[in-house]
Amino acid sequence: MNSVIDKHSKWRRIDPGIIGVIMLLAGFGVLMVYAASSGADKSGNSVFFVKRQLIWASGGFIIAIAIAFYNYSRLKYYASVIYVLNIVFLLGIVIFGKTALGAQRWFSIGIFHFQPSEFAKIAIIISLAAFLANYKGNLLDGKKLFMSFLYILPVLILIIIQPDLGTAMVILAITLGMLIPAGIRIKHLFILLLIGILLMSAVFQFHILKDYQAKRLMVFINPNIDPQGSGYNLRQSMIAIGSGKLTGKGLMSGTQSRLNFLPERHTDFIFSVIGEEFGFIGGGLLIFGFFLLISRTLSIGYKSRNYFGLLLASGIASMWFFQALINIGMTIGIAPITGIPLPFISYGGSAMITNMLAFGILLSIYARRFR
């Protein structure tokens, strides 16, 4: 009888819901990377990208399972170390990083490319959760709020310098998503939004953006302003999604992607390929998958046995929600093009491992919810 109870209790530590959603998203992502990148490699190897994506997804899943056995509460004691290492890696990118596509964001070691700004997302979630947990949901006075933003400011500055405004936006979204359960007042929330609007105005006024970034924002406002230049990606994306109609053209049958009209189709614009090949239904089902993922993440957070776990889950949910929202939004013209990847779907090792690390932390929170 005791063995039956013990076996039952062990199964109760596993969350099949989030495991199933993650496996479906990552598996679908591998399939779509194959469909989008077939023939994209200059060597003619049609499985070059999908083999890498499969390795990253499989390896990341194993890492996530390993993290599930680790008590997430102990991360709080290493938060300062994680914060400092995050700063060191981001500073290293500014000094030694590889420049590509107008940005300095990567360390390159042979054939491997490592993007610290992706891991900065999970690092800031852990370190900021530990910082905010000290307030225990009592973030009522402006001084505490100011200290919270001062805490993330060095990370934001180093990411903006690269420049990587997309990741900087994700960091801000993570921070806002964690401040809400931390007890931020409504009036302070409106003040922050006002400050954000003023900062965006200052960015334009003082020409802080690089030329290609400014053009992307102008194209967002008016897609027809530069149809053969900065607006080309958006136009091709909208054509691809529109041509998919209700049910799509079928896997590997998208003309915009197969005929190389759609740029960055296995990374930034992979949702455009999904819309073209699987139509409105396929795109809608993927969005529903993200809804299940984020709602389950928030549920795990609110079942956490401590405040630190709630903040971790809130940060992870905010990261996934914002990235999915902006990535899908930019492919249909309702958000500016920023280069933010679609979680578990877009090609990229650093992004996949970061998402799997977040997944592992959620598994650890769930497994210890009754302790």
**Is 11 part of any domain?**
no
The angle formed by the CA atoms of residues 225, 227 and 232, to the nearest 5 degrees, is 125
Q: How far, in Å, CA of 357 to CA of 364, rounded?
A: 11
Residue range(s) defining the domain that contains residue 179: 18-38+46-211+280-328+339-367
Strand ranges across the sheet with 112-114: 98-100, 103-109, 112-114
Peptide bond into 163 cis (omega under 30): yes
Three-state secondary-structure class, residue 99: strand
**Is 218 part of any domain?**
no
Alpha-carbon dihedral 152, 154, 157, 161, rounded to 10 degrees: -130
**Is 109 part of any domain?**
yes
Q: How far, in Å, CA of 95 to CA of 89, rounded?
A: 10
Higher pLDDT pick, 115 / 364: 364
* β-strand pairing of 98-100 with 103-109: antiparallel
Task: For residue range 159-212, list pLDDT tens digits in order.
Answer: 888 777 888 889 989 998 998 887 777 777 777 777 777 766 666 666 566 665
Q: What is the largest CA-CA distance in the chain?
A: 72
8 Å CB contact between 37 and 333: no
**Is 118 part of any domain?**
yes
**Is 71 part of any domain?**
yes
Higher pLDDT pick, 36 / 44: 36
Q: Provide the residue type at 8 as one letter.
A: H
Handedness of CA 118, 129, 172, 330 (dihedral sign): positive
pLDDT at 7: 44
Task: For residue range 247-283, list pLDDT tens digits in order.
Answer: 989 888 888 877 778 888 888 899 999 999 999 999 9
**Is 355 part of any domain?**
yes
Instruction: Dig out the tokens for 97 from the structure.
Output: 């990083």
Domain count of the chain?
Answer: 1
**Is 286 part of any domain?**
yes
- Would you report the helix, strand and coil content of the chain in percent, each value rounded to 5? 70, 5, 25
Nearest to 183 by CA among 31, 41, 357, 311: 311
**Is 77 part of any domain?**
yes
